[in-house]
Amino acid sequence: MAKDYSVFDVVGPNMIGPSSSHTAGAARLGKTASKIAGKPVKEVKFYLHGSFAETYKGHGTDKALVGGILGFDPEDARIRDSFDIANEMGVKFEFIKTDLGENEHPNSVRMEMVLEDGSKCEVKGASIGGGNIKLTEMDGLALDFNGAKPAVILEIKDITGAVSFVTGLLAHNNKNIATMSTSRIAGSEYTFVTIETDEPLERDILDQISKFEVVAKAVVLDKF
């Protein structure tokens, strides 16, 4: 969704590395992808596009992406040693230069993750400047999340009343919905729903949503 950027956004956050776009943004992309996966990542392939592909070693994008997958924040000093830490944890990683398409942001990456239980998760996004990011795809479906507001991403059965149950639950807990979008899974009985709220969701609300029998997955993403 649209987000207004201040001069502080453009200057960038506290971080490890020379470039907010190539390190802070990259770390944030990796961490958010790992959170969306919902389970420990055991293997990840980073498909690097544009300037990410050209300068990922020199600018520390590679270490930042791996650090993010491990759950490190952009300012975490452990990012410098993220390769060694990942190896110690048994997390495999690989960087692949690719062309994601002429319409993609030059600082884009597609992350293909294999999780601890053998399941897979794929997230695509871009670092758009000042440490800010934009997620554009999840498991092949369109996604629009940039951290302007907290959000919950749901994989929910595509039946009448399923989404209204969730929105009703949020209203009952005095949570105002800022935006909501859906993306249907072709050939599946499930759909992805992204709901941005004005305030963060408490753990008990997420638990209530997750217990709803038609919800296969629920992920809360914090505001950046």
Q: Give me the residue spans of the domains in the chain.
A: 18-141, 151-221
Contacts with 6 (C-beta within 8 Å, 6 or more apart), sequence order: none
How many Å apart are CA 204 and CA 142, to the nearest integer?
28
* CATH superfamily assigned to domain 151-221: ACT domain (3.30.70.260)
Return the half-sphere exposure (C-beta side, CA atoms, 13 A cut-off) of residue 199: 9
Q: What is the pLDDT of residue 187?
A: 80
Q: What is the pLDDT of residue 16?
A: 52
**pLDDT per residue of the chain (224 residues) written in tens, 0 to 9:** 444 443 334 334 444 545 555 799 999 999 999 999 999 999 999 999 999 999 998 889 999 999 999 999 999 999 999 999 999 999 999 999 999 999 999 999 999 999 999 999 999 999 998 889 999 999 988 888 988 899 999 999 999 999 999 999 999 999 999 999 998 877 888 888 999 999 999 999 999 999 999 999 899 998 87
Other Cβ atoms closer than 10 A to 189: 12
How many Å apart are CA 78 and CA 76, to the nearest integer?
5
How many Å apart are CA 105 and CA 136, to the nearest integer?
10
Q: How far apart, in Å, are the Cα atoms of 217 and each of 103, 192, 213?
A: 30, 9, 10
Identify whether the C-beta of residue 73 lies closer than 8 Å to the C-beta of residue 31: yes
In CATH, 18-141 is 3.30.1330.90 = yes
Among all chains, which residue has been given the structure tokens 């794929």?
Answer: 122
How many Å apart are CA 5 and CA 17, to the nearest integer?
22
How many Å apart are CA 40 and CA 104, to the nearest integer?
28
